[in-house]
Amino acid sequence: MAPLLLPASPAAWAQSPPPVNGPAEVVAEIPGTRLLGRGTLRFMGLRVYDGRLWVGAAAPGADWQVVPLALELQYLRNLKGGLIAERSLKEMRRQGEIDEVSAERWLGNMKQLFPDVGPGDRITGVNLPGVGARFFVNGQLRGEVREPEFARYFFGIWLSPRTSEPAMREQLLGLGATRSNP
């Protein structure tokens, strides 16, 4: 399915706190939305994005793949969409073996889904258990990847025990880490 490309860009998000019940696109996708955890990704001391994990009534644990959830990333700097896609695939490969056909297809999907971003822009991914993942940019539907394996690897970037950012994983899952990543 070709992703739906829509214009986006409320920069006001950079100054406003997250809504108590979640962004409108998350509330529409997940009944009873609540914030489970939040964290900040830093790279070489620079803040890259703030992440928030939104869940419904069922809180994810080790079985996060089977729970509807949304990961909202609010960017704090300018990044190219193609580079976001390439880094995402690299991090997905940390989760396990991905055949080259799937890797190329998923990279192409992500390059279409992830635009260039700047401070305040938000990319929100919604895990659709047994279906795949749906993506929003600044609250507007961007498209989806209807492959459950893609969703497992993609959300595993942040939620799997194999993540490259274990402190952020703990923050997002509400497991007790309270500081931003170094």
pLDDT, residue 69, reads: 95
pLDDT, residue 65, reads: 85
What is the residue-wise DSSP string for 13-69? GGTSPPPTT--HHHHHHSTT-EEEEEEEEEETTEEEEEEEEEE-SS--STTGGGS-E
Write down the pTM of the prediction: 0.84
Q: Rounded to an integer, what distance in angstroms lies between the CA atom of residue 57 and that of residue 93? A: 30
pLDDT, residue 45, reads: 83
pLDDT, residue 180, reads: 43
pLDDT, residue 19, reads: 55
**Domains along the sequence of the chain with CATH:** 22-172 (3.50.70.10)
Amino acid at the residue 34 = R
One digit per residue, the tens of pLDDT, for the chain of length 182 reads: 333 333 333 443 344 455 567 899 999 999 899 999 999 998 888 899 999 999 998 777 667 888 899 999 999 999 999 999 999 999 999 999 999 999 999 999 999 999 999 999 999 999 999 999 999 999 999 999 999 999 999 999 999 999 999 999 999 998 864 444 44
pLDDT, residue 137, reads: 98
